[in-house]
Structure 1
Amino acid sequence: MFPIELSDHDGDALTITTRGTDVWLTCTTDLSEVTIGPIPRTALHAALTDSRIDGAVTAAPIEDAG
């Protein structure tokens, strides 16, 4: 298995774990954890690159709060 973890300054995390052609997504916050999977890698790729949502999500600039 190959995990990649992304976390924010509060300690909340998203872990993406791959093994072969399968993917697991785990969201962790405080003492709670939710995992979905296995999801076929091709299905996750198709969902994330769906042409119906291309350009529908825009990111606002991140402002320095400090």
Structure 2
Amino acid sequence: MNATEFSDLDGDALTVTTAPDGVWITCTQGPHEVTVGPLPRNDLLGALGRSSTVTSARG
């Protein structure tokens, strides 16, 4: 299992955890937390790839 965490100046966090059964994404803001997963790794990579293509096309 491997986890990477990103946080902003307000202390909100995004944690991406990879495990043999897929990818888990957790968003935390203060006492609130939501987790989704496991997401199939290839499906998530495909969605992120499509998202970055749309974003870069806008500008």
Pairwise TM-score range, normalised by the shorter structure: 0.7 to 0.9
Seq. identity, %? 48
> Which residue of the partner structure matches residue 18 of structure 1?
18
Q: Which runs of 5+ in 1 are unaligned?
A: 59-66
Equivalent residue letter for 1:57: T
TM-score by length of 1: 0.76
CA RMSD between the two structures: 1.7
Whole-Å separation in 2 of the counterparts to 1:53 and 1:5? 20
The answer to whether the 8 A contact 2:24-2:36 is kept is yes
- Paired positions, count: 56
User: Is the CA contact (8 Å cut-off) linking 2:21 and 2:38 kept in structure 1?
Assistant: no
Q: Which has the higher helix share?
A: 2
- The TM-score with structure 2 as length reference comes to 0.84
Greater radius of gyration (CA): 1
